[in-house]
Amino acid sequence: MKDVIRRFYDEVLNAGDLDVADEIVGPGFAPRGGGAAGPEALRQIARYLRSALPDLRFDIEDLIAEGDRVASRWTLRGTHTGDFFGFPPTGKPLEVRACVIFRMENGKVAEIWPVIDSGSLATARG
């Protein structure tokens, strides 16, 4: 299961290989807030993040798996050149930390629960 989550970050989000979403995300995957479901939802997330931080890089700090859950703790770094969750671009380096719990089903991501470190998100204000 951890290998799937590594691909989620490394191949889809970091490298921008959106086709990998079909291999690692189940059809019922739907992040909070509505929008697309399944692999297209992950592609939309990746496009949005890369539009805000074209040089983004997720660095996985911890990856723990038990049962049908995988927990990740990561740091996102990049240059803030586009809208990032309502924060206008600053052109400055941005660093955000978070923990995300993934629920897996049939070897694919079925659900995610992110918890963003709001203190680190404040760096988006410039």
The CA distance from 106 to 115, in Å, is 24
Please state the domain count of the chain. Answer: 1
For residue 49, the number of C-alpha atoms closer than 13 Å in the C-beta half-sphere is: 23
The model's pTM is: 0.92
Cα 81 to Cα 22: distance, rounded to the nearest angstrom: 28
Residue 52 belongs to domain with CATH number: 3.10.450.50
Note the pLDDT of residue 31: 81
HSE, CB side, 13 Å, CA atoms: give it for residue 67.
4
Q: Which residues of the chain have pLDDT under 50?
A: none
In this prediction, residue 126 carries a pLDDT of 65
Which residue from 73, 49, 53, 50 is spatially nearest to 63, judged by alpha carbons? 73
How distant, in Å, are the alpha carbons of 57, 90, 92, 109 from that of 2? 18, 34, 32, 11
Check residue 33 and give its pLDDT. 66
Per-residue model confidence (pLDDT) at position 122: 73
Tally helices (H) and strands (E) across the chain: 4, 4
Q: What is the pLDDT of residue 39?
A: 96
- pLDDT (0 to 100) of residue 27: 94
Domain that holds residue 88: 2-125
